[in-house]
Structure 1
Amino acid sequence: MTDANIETIGGREMRCAGDGCGMEDDGAVRGHLPTGYGTVGSAASPRGTAAAPRPSRLRAAPLAALLMASTAAVPLLVASTTQLRAAGPIVFDIPTGDLGGVLAQIGRVGAQPISFPADLTRGRRAGPIAGRMGVQEALTLALGGTDLVVVPAAGGTLTVQRRGPVPTGAAAPAAAGDIAAIDVVDANAGSPYGDRGFQAGNVGDTIRIADAPLKETPVAISVVTNETIRSQNVTNTLEAARNSAGVIVTPGATGQPRFIIRGFETSGFSVNGQQNPVTLQQQIPIDAVDRIEVLKGPTAILTGVNVAGGGLINVTLKKPTAETIRDLTIRYGTYNYKTIALDLGGGVPDLEGTTYRFVTSLNHADRTDLGYRDPSEFLVMPSVRWEGQDLTVSAGLRYIQTRAVPQARFGFRALDPETGIGAIYRIPGNGPGNPNSHYDGRELTFETEQNYHAGTLFGLFDVSFNNLFQHQSVRFVGDSFSFFNTNFGFTQSGVQTGFDTQVENISERLSMTLKYQDDFMKSTTKFGFDYLSYWSGARSALPAFLPDFDLYNNTPISPLISGPYDFTVRKSSNIYRGGYMVEKLDLFDNKLHILGMARWDWFNQNSQSLQFGVAETPSVSKNDALSYTFGALLDLPYDLGVYINRSEGRIPQAPVAGISLAPIGRTLNEFGLRSSMFDNRFRTTLSFFELTESPLTLILQGQAGFPEGIRIVNTAGLQSRGIELEGQGEILPGWNLTANVTRLWTRSLDPDGLGLDPSAGRPAYQGSLWTTYTWLSGWAEGITVGAGVRALTEFKVNQLGANSLFTLPGYAVFDAAIGYTSGDFSANLKINNLFDSHAFSLSTISTYLPIERGRHVLLQASYRF
């Protein structure tokens, strides 16, 4: 398609030819005009009405700054199911930008149609616009210091014009029939976090100020946006975290993924910022996921309960939206893997201010690549939100039913009994196991949130209160295998274990937020109290057999667990309480950003085991801990920023053999640079960090010669140092990229070298890259191609019981994809592990050497109706 006309709107180019136009905005706003007209695609806009033709679904980014057809005015038509909301105060948080873009965002947030001639905004800047105010007040701030004013026009539209008489037709609103619209749906349209394509907007749920812009936050947070996840055809939620620097995701022997973040092993993950202290096998179906957030370093200060590792992976789920969503998705892939998913959302008719979201999916396969039968996953996730003048209430349910299998593809290393030389065996086929083995899991979670705007305090602070309550009930029943490598050759002993685990969590998070702004600074202060109570009960049994597996044929097949067996029962009850304060200051015309946090937590932990009818003495632990963080980020010229931070976190330890253990500390020192390139469409972060573990106490049981067989060992912790570089966003119109590379050093601080070598399972270099290109015009318009690679260098593995290390080679895994979008239909074919690389994935101990999954294919098709 050739350009017939080019005009700059708000400092950007608009290209028109034939029946279509495209415009580039902050963060790559592009689109095409359909032949009809309707509503502008935005976070608050429905996708047309029955009276008007539905616009085609075309590629564009989420910021709607919009086009003119034959008139000189540029109307910003932002429809909403809550138009009356524009008359009252609204919370604005719009950064400094060109005047046209700022006006566009005011119109979208305030659900107010605004019209202005393009030449009035060209070359002008405005902002920041932050605080609770009306649309008129926000426009007055944006136009302050200019010769422009806002006047009412026909149909409720506000028109921006110069002071004094207006020449005939200069700023007259265009007729509705002359206004075309862009349906912005393909690049995170309507994202509540301001994500644009591959580039993330706000920090999200990883810290307590969720709407803080990521580029202004002096802590290391990586975000995998919804557009990135969709382009990669990801089906495993947690594997999407591989797009973040310093993050290793590898399969564990039990089926639960293992994470190593900045050199430290991490257990568990959080959902919507709610930390689950129990590591479960349940995962979140990918169709429920909006984005993945990775917080680097200590997390206790931010989430209340730290996890044992160098950071936290948070899964953010889809939420109610005013945008009308009607998406049907199907998938088909290797091993007859098939999915059908439905995503519905929008405003509720005749209920002012009410929006909803309903997501459901079902997937099933004939078997997995391990040989296990009938894995399946079922999701139902309804949610609703009501927004009044000062009160917002939301509620949602999440039900997940799973029949899953351990994702354990592995080899092992054994020693020749005569030579003592170790040999590594890659297990032929898909690995040993029972093709009937599985576990059944069910999760039911209820969550409700209330937010109340209390008004102004002392005429200075804008005050609001928030409460978030969650109740979660989970149960898993099934069996698993454990393997040993004590024998040499192709025979390996294993044991089958049955288990029945139940978990119940209750959490309450109360907070008060005070916002203040004047000509010198903007301040956000938050006080909060967290309460988390969880109970777990686990019952497990060892059958009276030790089957030998022929690794060539994966035989014999052992029966599933069936009673009667002697069960081991373990129960635990834990309560976490914590109070905190967060302060974010933006100074010097929004150039200096300071973040400070402090919290105090109280931990009460109780556990008890019952084995062979004999009850263990209950273990009780009570302790408390102080956590804090401080960081600052300074915006420099040429779209460059520099930041520093220091964080101190605490990890509560469960009592062992009745002995109470103090929390383990994590201290992070970090320095970094952030930059924006390509007209702020592509963002990079360079980080230098040092993460240190405090001294810890190890309780070793069954030690001969020690009182009651218990040996207490005090040892120094670990330390990791590293350099991370990551970038995400759009390089050229249609060309998106996310990439990262990490250089890591890990060492033990213990001079006696107690424990396993901390460098095991941690390669010196690792990185990943994923890029897509979409043709926006011409004969290939609508076609997208994608390619990616994950690579790492060689790594060490501990030889358990031998105090020695051996090395496994590095490797690279390549992926490729091709897709097509036309109107409301899109399709994507993804080939993972394109060259069928058979490599050992990362592991720390030789008893379990996971293998990368071989080549597999997935076709995904979506239709918006």
Structure 2
Amino acid sequence: MRTAQSDFLIFRVNAVAQLNLSFFEAASGMRASVCVRQTMLAVSVSAAFVSVTPASAQQTAVSIDIAPQLLGDALLRLGQQTDLQFIYQPSLLNGLRTSGVKGRLTPEQALNQLLSASAIRYTRQGNTITLQRRTAPQAAATAAGSDVAQLEQIVATLPSDPATTEGTGSYTSQASSSSTRLSLSPKETPQSVTVMTRQRMDDQGITQLSDLVQQTPGLSLDAGGNIGSDTSTIFSRGFEVDNYLIDGVGQVNSNYSRIFQSNDMVLFDRVEIVRGATGLMSGLGSPGGSLNMIRKRPTQEFQALAKLEAGSWDHYRSEVDVSTPMNEAGTIRGRIVGAIQNNHSYLDRLREKKRILYATVEADLTPSTLARLGFSYQEHNATGHARSGRPGFYADGGRTEWSRSDSAAADWAYSRRRNQAFFASLEHRFANDWLLKGTYSYASSRYDEVLGYAAGGFPDRQTGQGVMLWAGRWAGTPKQNSLDVYATGPYTLFGRKHELVVGATLTHTEEHTPTYGLWRFDGWNNAVDNIYEWDGSTPGAPPNPPNGRMHIREKTSSAYMTTRLRPTDALSVILGARITSWENDKRTFDLSGTPDTSVLQAEHGKLTPYAGVVYDVNKIWSLYAGYTSIFKPQTNMDTSGNYLKPLVGNSYELGVKGSLLDDTLNVSAAAFYLKQDNLAVALPGEFAPDGSSAYEAVSGARTRGFELEVSGQILPHWQLAAGFTRSVSKDKDGGVLSTEVAQNIFKLFTTYHMPHVGNGLTIGGGVRVQSKIYDDDLGPNKERFTQKGYAVVDLMARYAFTDKVSGYVNVYNLTDKKYYSGVGMAYYGAPRSIRAGVDIRY
């Protein structure tokens, strides 16, 4: 039955359609095409049956059935079957045909398929689609005479997946699932989530995971040694982040999780960073957060990229990225990505070589069934590699002053890492809008690290004597098999529509590795004669053959469920739980006759609950509250070799989020509180029996803090990402914990695009600011090592020589700020550097 509200909507939409049509006719100087008029009429008629058309409707799948025909006629049918309306110059579609589209798809997915074989791109404002020719977007927009031309928006094809960031030009994403597995917009997610988009990674020259961490709000990197070593630790909210996921599937290796830091960002469309406990996604959740790296996928249209880059310290990098349909209908699509990087460093003797290859194929087996296969290979080799810098104190207790290029690494020390991964997934969408997806992945890694670094003892201020070399070796070949299966979709309860996810995850990691001596060796003199004149060649490497072998088997199995209840249109209640079982069986076989050892750590049936409430104050703002428990088995040992008890506790978060400017700008503010027992705190200068750093368990630890963040487009052509975090951890007696992590962190990066300067000029810059960090009991007299607060400034520029060729330049640490990247025996941060390159796209 028609209501006064629907009658008003019919009148309003018809009036807007007639106004747009008249404006179109006046601006183009000719009568608008029949298809434009028909489409607008169809939209007006369809409006009679709905009361509102929110932006989120564009992300809802509907039944689409459009036969092969002329593209203009197909768009008319699409307008009749969805709530889209189209504006275009009549001659734009002359003679163009489409193969049609059928199935349950979002309006954007259907539109992308209809346009896949054409050279047509589009922009969207609300439900209005402006079609433009790829080679002359400004002329098409001007002919249309719409407000789009005045806004001069960047033309980009909207992705079929609302979470995909490639091609959007944005510093934010429309959706993510890394917090609850449900695909939610930032405003709908009751947790702090940052999405590092493809555009931002390209603008800032982010190619390594460590680069990304240093630029992400709320994260910090305590890099005592070279990036990627076992002393390179990521922190969030005062806690180590060791939850690494790829496409939502956890990477499990408690024995050496740092190997996952070697991932190169060329493989990924985006990285979704969740701050706070993520037990619902990972089962054994770190209270700090998680990093979910989402791989690039094949595109509906052909596209290709080639990039050549050179920079300071003999930095050379090349990338190739090609994606294409593999049949005429576009139902089979492939993508291949490759990168090569060679570089020296501001540190003496450090040289790195990286090789990356990635290939993936997608096939639409039916309109509702998608299969995907993929393979990746990553190789990261470094010589002159060290776990730390030189000693931070002289023998008299005074602070040392080294040149930023002074390395602690012996010239024979190295790190070699390799990873191969295979993955396959199959997903099917049913007629009732439920999705079933299964993913199997296999990853095989190999690492071999020979250690030699001048960090022992304290040098005499005059003679340079007193420094010793630490040496050792570790190697391994971990292999992980994982299977993740889940189903998600809507259901109706008490007359309202809700959402549900149910799933299960199995992982099995096995590692066979030789064991070697660590730190000291009989008959080997580890003294450095004079650290001031040391070139890394003496003393030579100690004899260090394998002295045993170790077999590690780690298994996790978990089942999870999440539901999003909608008691009212404005209120969402998200409830979830994951039940997890974990085993870590470590067996050591000694070749010297020492009795073999076997240690089994196991936890079974551990429940991790999750609860979140989101209230929409209006279409822009929402309030939220979230709770989850914390449970994490620990592989850290005390000085006696005993493993610490699992970390347990509770995490609470309150916040407000906003989605502004037609969902192009996301803002948030959050306050958080964590309480935990058995928190692992490192004991400086003390070691466990196996040579690793020793820890003690602290109970009653509490962490309080708050975060502010903004990301996205604040004006046409102006992108911004900024965030401030304050986090303080204390023990039960009020003593400050984790002093090596900055309590206050502010990060900002922004770019502005000027389309009328030549073929387009983009300029940008950013700053990273952190408060002081320190650690006690480090010098010969138990001195404190302090790094004062500092700020690092970066700049970038990119100029389009043609519509396909661009040149770019990035300047890092513009003011050449000198600072330590950690405390104790840390290296200095990188001095001022520059990278420049050319980017060719088709």
Instruction: State the TM-score, normalizing by the size of structure 2.
Output: 0.76
Which residue does the alignment assign to 2:479?
504
2:787 aligns to what?
Answer: 808
Could you tell me which residue of structure 1 aligns to residue 820 of structure 2? 840
Tell me how far 1:231 sits from its aligned partner: 0.6
> 1:356 maps to what in 2?
334
Match for residue 640 of structure 1 among 621, 634, 644: 621
Paired residue for 2:234? 259
- In the TM superposition, residue 687 of structure 1 has moved relative to its aligned partner by 0.8
2:528 alignment partner in structure 1:
548
Asked if 2 retains the 8 angstrom alpha-carbon contact of 1:370 and 1:407, the reply is no
1:298 maps to 2:273: no
User: Could you say which residue in structure 2 is the equivalent of 1:398?
Assistant: 376
Q: 1:247 maps to what in 2? A: 219
Alignment check: 8 A CA contact 1:397 1:445 kept: yes
Q: Contact (CA 8 Å) 1:198, 1:224: kept in 2 or not?
A: no
Is contact 1:343-1:359 (8 Å) kept? yes
State the match for 2:402 in structure 1. 426
Identity of matched residues, %: 18
CA gap 1:697/1:494 in 2 versus in 1, 3 angstroms = closer
Is 2:83 the counterpart of 1:107? Answer: no
Q: In 1, Cα distance between the equivalents of 2:643 and 2:600? A: 7
Cα drift, residue 823 of structure 1: 0.2
Shift of 1:637: 2.9
Task: Return the offset for 1:584.
Answer: 1.8
| 1:742–1:346 Cα change, 3 Å | same
SS at match of 1:218: coil
Q: Which one of 727, 730, 744 corresponds to residue 727 of structure 2?
A: 744
Displacement of 1:685: 0.8
Q: Is 1:289 equivalent to 2:268 in the alignment?
A: yes
Q: CA deviation at 1:228?
A: 0.6
Establish whether residue 231 from structure 1 lines up as the match of residue 212 from structure 2: no
Letter in structure 1 aligned against 2:416: D
Aligned twin of 1:386: 363
Q: Shift in Å at residue 475 of structure 1?
A: 0.6
The aligned runs of 1:88-167 (5 Å cut-off) are 88-90=103-105, 92=106, 107-108=111-112
| More divergent stretch after superposition (808-817 vs 252-261) | 252-261
State the SS of the aligned residue for 1:555. coil
In structure 2, relative to structure 1, the CA distance for the partners of 1:509 and 1:485 (3 Å cut) is: same
Give the Cα–Cα distance (whole angstroms) in 2 for the partners of residues 290 and 784 of structure 1: 21
Aligned to 1:858: 835
Deviation for aligned residue 1:394:
0.7
* Higher fraction of helix: 2
Deviation at 1:559, TM superposition (A): 7.1
**Match status 1:684 vs 2:667:** yes
Structure 1 residues 161-560: aligned runs within 5 Å: 193-195=163-165, 196-204=168-176, 206-207=178-179, 209=181, 211-253=183-225, 255-256=227-228, 257-267=232-242, 269-278=244-253, 279-281=257-259, 283-307=262-286, 309-350=287-328, 353-365=331-343, 367-372=344-349, 374-387=351-364, 388-405=366-383, 406=385, 410-414=389-393, 416-417=395-396, 421-427=397-403, 429-456=405-432, 462-489=433-460, 490-491=464-465, 492-516=467-491, 521-538=496-513, 539-542=515-518, 544-548=524-528, 550-558=530-538
- Number of the residue aligned with 2:647: 664
Letter in 1 for 2:111: G
Q: Residue type of the partner of 1:605?
A: N
Amino acid at match of 1:786: G
Q: How does 1:33-44 map to 2 (within 5 A)?
A: none
**Contact between 2:646 and 2:678, CA under 8 Å: does it hold in 1?**
no
Tell me, in whole angstroms, the C-alpha distance in 2 between the residues paired with 1:288 and 1:628: 33
User: For residues 684 and 463 of structure 1, do their structure 2 counterparts lie closer, same or farther at Cα, with a shift above 3 Å needed?
Assistant: closer
User: What are the equivalent positions in structure 2 for 1:769-788 lying under 5 Å apart?
Assistant: 769-777=748-756, 779-788=757-766
> What CA deviation, in whole Å up to 9, does each residue of 1:793-823 have, x standing for no partner?
2222232487764432111111111111230
Q: Is the 1:505–1:535 contact (alpha carbons within 8 Å) kept by the matching residues of 2?
A: yes
Indicate if the aligned counterparts of 1:293 and 1:315 stay in contact, CA closer than 8 A.
yes
Deviations 1:630-689, CA, capped at 9 Å, x for gaps: 111111136111111011121123496896765312421111111233443221111111
Task: Give 1:215 shift.
Answer: 2.0
1:761 aligns with one of 740, 748, 755? 740
| 1:107 partner amino acid | L
Contact 2:376 2:421 in 1 (8 A): yes
Distance in 1, Cα, partners of 2:754 & 2:686: 67
Q: Deviation at 1:217? A: 1.1
1:771 Cα shift? 0.8
Higher mean C-alpha displacement, 600-609 vs 196-205? 196-205
Relative to 1, partners in 2 of residues 1:683 and 1:640: Cα closer, same or farther, differing over 3 Å? same
Distance in 1, Cα, partners of 2:25 & 2:720 = 24
C-alpha displacement of 1:187: 8.9
Q: Secondary structure at the match of 2:214?
A: helix
Structure 1 segments unaligned to the other structure (5+ residues): 1-6, 19-41, 43-51, 53-63, 93-102, 127-138, 140-173, 457-461
Alignment of 1:849 with 2:826, yes or no, is yes
Residue 47 (structure 2) aligns with: none
| Matched position secondary structure for 2:471 | strand
Structure 1 CA distance for aligned equivalents of residues 209 and 313 of structure 2: 19
Verify the 8 A CA contact 1:432 1:549 in the aligned structure 2: no
Change (3 A) 1:238 1:522: farther
**Cα shift readout 1:709-737 (whole Å, capped 9, x = no counterpart):** xx997641432211111111111111111
Alignment partners' CA distance in 1, 2:404 and 2:531: 7
Distance 1:184 1:852 in 2: 36
1:669 and 1:691 in contact (8 A); partners too: yes
Which residue of structure 2 aligns with residue 156 of structure 1?
none
Q: What is the deviation of 1:319?
A: 1.7
SS across alignment from 2:266? helix
For residue 274 of structure 1, report the CA deviation from its aligned partner: 2.3
After superposition, the Cα gap between the structure-2 partners of 1:525 and 1:826, relative to the gap in structure 1 and judged at 3 Å, is same
Relative to structure 1, the CA distance from residue 713 to residue 334 in structure 2 (aligned partners, 3 Å threshold; closer, same or farther) is closer
Conserved 8 A contact 1:581-1:598: yes
Q: Kindly state the Cα deviation for residue 511 of structure 1 after the two structures are TM-superposed.
A: 1.6
Conserved 8 A contact 1:720-1:745 = yes
One-letter amino acid matched to 1:258: T
Amino acid at match of 2:414: H
CA distance in 1, matches of 2:23, 2:654: 34
Q: Would the aligned equivalents of 2:647 and 2:677 in 1 still touch at CA under 8 Å?
A: yes
Structure 2 residue 535 is matched with structure 1 residue 565: no
CA separation of 1:497 and 1:299: change in aligned 2, threshold 3 A: same
Please state whether the residue corresponding to 2:742 is helix, strand or coil: coil
Counterpart of 1:577 in structure 2 is 557
Tell me: CA distance 1:561–1:198, structure 2 relative to 1, closer, same or farther (3 Å). Answer: farther
- Tell me the CA shift for residue 292 of structure 1: 1.6
**Maintained 8 Å contact 1:431/1:551:** no
SS at match of 2:763: strand
Kindly report which structure 2 residues correspond to 1:787-802, keeping only aligned pairs within 5 A, or say none.
787-800=765-778
Distance 1:226 1:305, change over 3 A: same
Contact 1:348 1:356 in 2 (8 A): yes
What 5-or-longer segments of structure 2 have no aligned partner? 1-17, 30-58, 60-70, 72-82, 130-143
- CA gap 1:433/1:535 in 2 versus in 1, 3 angstroms: same
Secondary structure of the corresponding residue to residue 850 of structure 1: coil
- Aligned partners of 1:451 and 1:466 also within 8 Å: yes
Structure 2 counterpart of 1:626 = 607
Distance 1:819 1:600, change over 3 A: same
8 Å CA contact 2:404–2:828 kept in 1: the answer is no
Shift of 1:323: 3.0
Shift of 1:828: 1.0
3-state SS of 1:642 partner = strand
Q: Distance in 2 between matches of 1:78 and 1:218?
A: 46
